[in-house]
Each structure stands twice: as structure tokens, then as C-alpha cells.
Amino acid sequence: MSKLTEEDVKNRIITPAIENAGWSKNQMWMEKFFTDGKVIIKGKTAKRGTRKKADYLLHHHNNFPIAIVEAKDGDHTIEDGIQQAIDYAKILDIPFAYSSNGEGFVEHDKKL
């Protein structure tokens, strides 16, 4: 059997797992850009760098973000996305970061 793509992992495993944990579709934002990209100045010109995008951004209430989930394809380990999720969680000042490749989830709680 071939490894799952990142989209397969999200559609078949992560989204259903989040919903089964009690999150509604209204609390789940997918492919959410949360930065405009770093401003890069060269001489008299300026442009934006790459925007940062969360695979999943989970909101507790009133659009208050509480968790980020980074998805990876089946060629990665469960842990491969956790540092990226932690970095994004720091930028957004949210407490929970998760990573998954479809085989399970790794959690980071910044309060622990």
C-alpha cells in the first residue's frame, strides 16, 4: 500500500479525529493564513516573503484560537511537524500544538 499524501491524511484521518473529539466545523479553520509574510527591503523596493499558513487552527469560542495542528504525509513520522506547530503556536500565542502523519498525534502543551 502506498503512503498517504498530506491531503489524504487531513481528509481521512485528522479532520474526522478532530470532529470525533467534539470540535465543530465552525471551530475548525483549515489552511488558514495567519501572517502576511516578512517585509523584505532591497534598495528602494520592498516585497513580502512567504506567508505562514496553519493546516488546522482550532478555536474555542468567539474566534479565540487555542490549538494548531500540523499535518504531514505518510513519508514523515508523527513527530516531524511538531516543531513547526510549536513555532506557529508561539507566533499566535496559543497553548496547544499538535502534529500528525495519520498514524497518531503528538501534543505539545506550552503550559507544562
Instruction: Render pLDDT for 23-44 as a digit per residue (tens, 0 to 9).
Output: 999 999 999 998 888 888 999 9
Mean pLDDT of the chain: 92
> 33 forms bridges with which residues in the sheet?
53
d(CA 57, CA 34): 10
Query: What 3-state class would DSSP assign to 66?
Result: strand
CA atoms in the 13 A half-sphere facing the CB of 97: 23
What residue ranges define each of the domains in the chain, with the CATH number in brackets? 10-106 (3.90.1570.30)
Instruction: Render pLDDT for 82-108 as a digit per residue (tens, 0 to 9).
Output: 999 999 999 999 999 999 999 999 999
Kindly report the pTM of this predicted structure. 0.86
d(CA 25, CA 15): 9
